[in-house]
Structure 1
Amino acid sequence: MPEREGEPAQMQIGNVAARTELSIKTIRHYDDAGLVTPSARSRGGFRLYTESDVQRLLVIRRMKPLGFTLGEMRELLAALDARADGSADHEIRATAERYVDECHRRAETTCAELRTQLAYAEEFTALLAQP
């Protein structure tokens, strides 16, 4: 779909799937779950996404291996939006900041656990490679 001057470029779901390395089915699921709503629809009803939508999907993709549930993803995305909204109420932004900090701590802990698991897997792989 050609873009008009001043409007963000729009991509169809197949292009978004390729960019994010998520399946079309997964992207549709995230739409149904209310995590990422396409910015527009084509005349034929096809989902159209902007670069901002792609970035949101990439955040979700990064959260998934860390064990965040869909509900937690939704809450964290809302907190990130509130934190970035300069016009949001101070208390809303403060609450959002606390939740982002909590998620950050959890992500750090999970990353450390995954690094340990990876080290074990690499040790095991090296063991199997020995004659």
Structure 2
Amino acid sequence: MSGEHMQIGEVAARTELSLRTIRHYEETGLVVPSARSRGGFRLYTEADVARLMVIRRMKPLDFTLDEMRALLEATDRLDSGENLPPDDREDLLDRVRDFERAAQQRVEELRTRLSRAEEFAATLAQRLTGSSRP
């Protein structure tokens, strides 16, 4: 096996995704191994790892599998080297911009939730340290 291909275990370690999760993303068509070994093992490239990292980063922001697929399809076309008509290229860029705006909004919502959770935890800690009960 050449150095450009990795087995699923190495990909799991690099992406911090479980083998089961990677297989699930394969079953749903989000990522497909670039090759198979003679023994039938999945083989991945750096591009496959990058794709999994996009998926991993979208997951905590609650993007659906369909949304992940839509973004990946848009970026795949933009990155394909295909000579796209200007209108098609602009449409794809607009889709990516929409995802960027949605991601920023979801990050802000998570920051708000985290702040509230930290306030709650601090309130509980204060209650415990300020308590005079034995």
1:26-66 CA-to-partner distances (Å, cap 9, x unmatched) read: 10011111111001001111100011111110000001111
C-alpha deviation, 1:96, in angstroms: 1.0
- Counterpart of 1:105 in structure 2 is 101
- Counterpart of 1:114 in structure 2 is 110
Pick from 23, 46, 50 the counterpart of residue 28 of structure 1: 23
Q: Give the percent of matched residue pairs that are identical in Structure 1 and Structure 2.
A: 60
- Counterpart of 2:11 in structure 1 is 16
1:128 equivalent in alignment to 2:133: no
Worse-superposed segment, 85-94 or 27-36 = 85-94
> Matches of 1:102 and 1:62 in 2, distance apart?
16
What 5-or-longer segments of structure 2 have no aligned partner?
A: 130-134
- Counterpart of 2:132 in structure 1 is none
1:58 equivalent in alignment to 2:66: no
1:82 equivalent in alignment to 2:82: no
Q: TM-score, normalised by structure 1?
A: 0.90
> Matches of 1:35 and 1:86 in 2, distance apart?
20
Give me the CA root mean square deviation.
Answer: 1.2
Aligned residues between the structures: 126
What 5-or-longer segments of structure 1 have no aligned partner?
A: none
> Matches of 1:92 and 1:117 in 2, distance apart?
38
Q: TM-score, normalised by structure 2?
A: 0.88
**Structure exhibiting the larger radius of gyration computed from Cα positions:** 2
Partner-residue secondary structure (3-state), 2:63:
coil
> Matches of 1:46 and 1:86 in 2, distance apart?
29
Write the letter of the residue equivalent to 2:96. V
Q: Which runs of 4+ in 1 moved over 6 A?
A: none
Partner-residue secondary structure (3-state), 2:69:
helix
